[in-house]
């Protein structure tokens, strides 16, 4: 319950009209993560505890998933769309995120780490 209060989670397409192309610099507090077979770029994201961030997730090839169980986050990542996940990490540490939509040989290695400095 405590985590729910501390983490504001927003998942969804950023434009009601549908597809959004990414061709801009990330806004303050935004961190862009690009998914492709079989990597997240970047695969390590460093933030500070208590800092509110928005992960802007895109895919360049096919549907992937983004799941970070420690913060109860998951969403599909669909080509030509961006998915935005906002959270405020309430604890320091390293937290795994990974693709949870089977995407081929190499899927099982498609993961990354959110590093929260205390």
Partner 1 sequence: MQHTDRRDFLKLAGLAGVTFTAGLFPGLKASAQMAGDFHFVQISDTHWGYKGPANPDAEHTLEKAIATVNGLSNKPDFIVFTGDLTHTTEDGAERRARMKRFKEIVSALNVKDVRFMPGEHDAALDKGVAFKEFFGATHYTFDHKGVHFVALDNVSDPGAKLGDEQLAWLAADLKQRKPDDRIVVLTHRPLFDLVPSWDWTTADGAKAIDLLMPYTNVVVFYGHIHQEHHHMTGHIAHHAAKSLIFPQAAPGTQPRRPPPPPFDASLKPLGTRDVAMSSTVTMTELPVTKG
Q: Which of 65, 82, 83, 116 binds partner 1 (CB under 8 A)?
A: 65
Is 103 a binding residue for partner 1 by CB under 8 A? The answer is yes
Q: Which of 12, 29, 42, 69 binds partner 1 (CB under 8 A)?
A: 69
For partner 1, the closer CB: 44 or 52: 44
Is 51 a binding residue for partner 1 by CB under 8 A? The answer is no
For partner 1, the closer CB: 52 or 94: 94
Q: Give the separation between CA 57 and CA 35, rounded to whole angstroms.
A: 7
For partner 1, the closer CB: 11 or 22: 11
Cβ at position 108, least distance to partner 1 in Å: 7
Q: Which residues contact 23 (CB under 8 A, 6 or more apart)?
A: none
Q: Which of 87, 98, 114, 116 binds partner 1 (CB under 8 A)?
A: 98
Return the residues of window 2-21 that contact partner 1 according to CB under 8 A: none
Is 36 a binding residue for partner 1 by CB under 8 A? The answer is no
Reduced 3-state DSSP string for the chain: CHHHHHCCCCCCECCCCCCCCCCCCCCCCEEEEEEECCEEECCEEEEECCCCEEEEEEECCCCEEEEEHHHCEEEEECCCCCEEEEECCCCCEEEEEECCCCCCCCHHHCEEEEEEEC
């Amino acid at each position: 319950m405590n985590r729910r209060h501390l983490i504001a989670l927003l998942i969804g397409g950023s434009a009601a009209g549908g597809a959004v192309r990414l061709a801009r610099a990330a806004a303050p507090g935004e961190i862009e993560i690009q998914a492709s077979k079989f990597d997240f770029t970047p695969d390590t994201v460093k933030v500070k505890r208590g800092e509110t961030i928005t992960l802007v997730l895109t895919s360049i090839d096919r549907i992937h998933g983004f799941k970070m169980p420690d913060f109860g986050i998951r969403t599909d990542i669909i080509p030509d769309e961006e998915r935005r996940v906002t959270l405020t990490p309430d604890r320091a540490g390293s937290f795994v995120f990974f693709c949870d939509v089977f995407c081929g040989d190499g899927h099982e290695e498609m993961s990354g780490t959110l590093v929260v400095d205390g």
